Chains A and B, each alone.
Chain A
Amino acid sequence: MALRRILIANRGEIALRIVRAARSLGIETVLAASAADRESMAAREADRTVVVGPAAARDSYLNPHLIVHAAKATGCDGLHPGYGFLSERHSLAALCAEEGIVFVGPTADSILAVGDKLSARGLAKAAGVAMTPGSEKLETGAQAVAFAESVGFPVVTKASAGGGGRGMVVAPDAKALAEAFERASTEAKEAFGDGTLYVERYVERARHVEVQVLGLGDGRVLHFGERDCSLQRRYQKMVEEAPAAAVPEATRARLHQAAVDLLSSICYRNAGTVEFLYDVDRDDFYFMEVNARIQVEHPVSEMITGADLIRLQLEVAVGEFPRIEQRDINPRGHAIEARIIAENPERGFAPSPGRIRLWRPPHGEGVRLDTAMEEGALVPPFYDSMIAKLIVHAADRRSAIARLRAALEAFAVEGVATNIALLRRIAAHPDFIGNRLDTRWLESVFLPQYREPKEA
């Protein structure tokens, strides 16, 4: 069977991306939008838009019952959740299964198995995937200190129920850990409704390297190479690349195998990403987590492999096996993505919603822009403030950076503040060009320099 009509439970560039991928497969699209997005580009391009609720995400994009009701009432046989919002909510996948709607993503059981980080670590361990020394669930600061002393400081606290930096505190010694534990637990409880913490050894110089996979649901798992997403601010990615050029080829091959082993052990279906922490000094990697969805930065993998991951998601969801095998996936060249965000780096990165008065994006060979913005469009204040993803592709990293710099130079936006000027400075920085980065570089090296008044 093939999908005939899908509901898209998302907004912005990813909703538009899904509308277009579906259309290329002859699948009709219904967009479930909030009242704030009824005039969006995705709403215009979808075959139909239904307004499910008010602007607040809680009463629209985050309500699984409204979304599934909309899918049923509009005759959809499939549902694509995009990323963020309900994309990794196992109850949505379960609800779809109950109602006979194909969920374009993993099964509810898979989402549960990899969604809870402790459960995911258990799976990784069973599949023989390397991990940083880490504790079981901890009740008290004293337990945390005892564990940390057995593996050595520094350590980091993590929330069992979620990510995004909430519940994470780096502690250089026992005193700091004892003090931070309560605060981290409270933060985790507020963010995820569950204050359970565990503690891990902290890697001083780390890169964030992740492997893009596509599970066929029968134990076979294809991978599309890895990405390096080390440029982060407060655990939010800002620039992503593929391949991870700083990691030796042999290590990359081991990373791919670890990701495939982990997800074939649960017969994972659809797109997913296995995230690893790469220890620069030891040339080793540790499992971090699985993201059971398509990710924001999937285009860099598409650029180097030539695959259309959203199309593949739609095919695999109904058991159509892609006509490609692992040996057909041969990464070529280098791709970089820069997230264009409506925020003001000069004012503590405050979100900058508003109406786009001028929108002059770059064009040219090897330049791709994933966006749902245009002149006159409104950046609403209710959601994530990413307004575009600028992706470049070239034969090697050096030429990709040249292309990125030219594209950022040409990119003009007025009406909202953006991080474009900051991205230009990153792209021109010797550390970026020399690929001497780690996950703390942006905050500890680059931003302090960026904030200093420029010398004449």
Chain B
Amino acid sequence: MTDIKPQDIEALLETFDASTWQELHLKIEGLEIFVSKTPGARAPASTGAHHQAELMSFPSTHATATAAPPHAMAPLAGAAGAKAAPAAVPAHWVAVRAPNLGTFYRAPKPGAAPYVSVGQKVDADTEVCLIEVMKLFTSVLAGVAGTVRKVLVEDTELVEYDQPLFLIEPA
């Protein structure tokens, strides 16, 4: 087992994103990482490595050296991390993350217009969604001024702590 921590891999990914490299293939002891800027790229056949994290260029919090595949049990699916790998995303886009576990709501009430939509300009203190915990609703702010580029979660979905909810391109 190596001493590599999730932060180390995130740092590595940031370096990779900022570089002009197309691919990165790294093997250290029991760890093997393959990163590519080409969507759908596959790592060369693994040579007996215990862990293989296949990552696109967006440094998700769920991308770590020991990331296990999501469990296959059907009724328990829908967890964070069960999503398909995100397509290439510019490195300077900022994720708005869940402050805690809860139910994600895009609109103040059922049937109302969502707080924000893709393409919309926001300020740091613009409300972007609600997170509900046992009937207690907490609003989440954008945290950065810019343009909403992606909504990563479906309305009324369970989100976990620190899960990315939106991607914002800073102004």
Chain A residues packing against B (C-beta within 8 Å): 28, 30, 32, 34-35, 39, 44, 47-54, 59-60, 63, 65-66, 68-70, 73-75, 95, 355, 375-376
Contact = CB atoms under 8 A, between A and B. Distances in A.
Contacts of B115: none
Interface stretch (B17-25, B71-79, B85-93): B71-79
B133 A66 contact: yes
Interface stretch (B40-48, B118-126, B143-151, B158-166): B158-166
A69 B102 contact: yes
A48 B71 contact: yes
B101 interface: yes
B112 interface: no
B171 interface: no
Contact of A69 (B2, B66, B68, B133): B133
A52 B161 contact: yes
Nearest to B101: A52
A154 B20 CA distance: 77
A95 B135 CA distance: 13
A174 B64 CA distance: 61
Contacts of A48: 71, 73, 76, 79
Contact of B100 (A49, A66, A68, A95): A66
Contacts of A69: 101-103, 132-134
B76 A47 contact: yes
B71 A47 contact: yes
A73 B100 contact: no
Interface in B10-68: 64, 66, 68
A68 B136 CA distance: 13
Contacts of B163: 51
Which among B1, B68, B162 has the greatest number of chain A C-beta atoms within 10 A?
B1
Which among B2, B64, B76 has the greatest number of chain A C-beta atoms within 10 A?
B76
B65 to A, nearest CB: 9
B75 A75 contact: yes
30 contacts: A34-B161, A39-B64, A39-B66, A44-B68, A47-B71, A47-B73, A48-B73, A48-B79, A50-B79, A51-B80, A51-B161, A51-B163, A52-B160, A52-B161, A53-B161, A59-B100, A60-B161, A65-B134, A65-B136, A66-B102, A66-B133, A68-B134, A69-B101, A70-B158, A73-B103, A73-B158, A74-B158, A75-B76, A376-B1, A376-B2
A73 B158 CA distance: 7
Contacts of B1: 375-376
A54 B64 CA distance: 17
A32 B3 CA distance: 26
Given A48-B71, A52-B101, A66-B100, A355 B3 contact: yes
Which among B66, B73, B102 has the greatest number of chain A C-beta atoms within 10 A?
B102
A70 B161 contact: no
Interface in B95-130: 100-103
Contacts of B73: 28, 47-48
Contacts of A49: 79
A86 to B, nearest CB: 14
Contacts of A51: 80, 101, 160-163
Contacts of A95: 134
Nearest to A43: B68
Nearest to A377: B1
A72 to B, nearest CB: 8
A28 B76 contact: yes
B40 to A, nearest CB: 27
Contacts of A32: 101
Nearest to B76: A48
Contacts of B101: 32, 50-53, 66, 69-70
A30 B71 CA distance: 11
B160 to A, nearest CB: 4
A355 B4 CA distance: 11
Contacts of A63: 100
Contacts of B80: 51
Contacts of A74: 76, 158
A66 B101 CA distance: 7
Nearest to A59: B100
A376 B65 CA distance: 12
A30 B134 contact: no
A358 to B, nearest CB: 10
Nearest to B64: A39
Nearest to A73: B158
A65 B133 contact: yes
B71 A54 contact: no
In the A-B complex, the 8 residue pairs with the closest CB atoms: A376-B1, A52-B101, A73-B158, A51-B160, A65-B134, A48-B76, A51-B161, A53-B100
Contacts of A375: 1
Contacts of A73: 103, 158
B160 A50 contact: yes
Contact of A50 (B64, B132, B136, B158): B158
Contacts of A355: 3
Given A48-B76, A69-B133, 5 more contacts: A49-B79, A51-B101, A52-B101, A65-B136, A69-B132
A52 B101 CA distance: 5
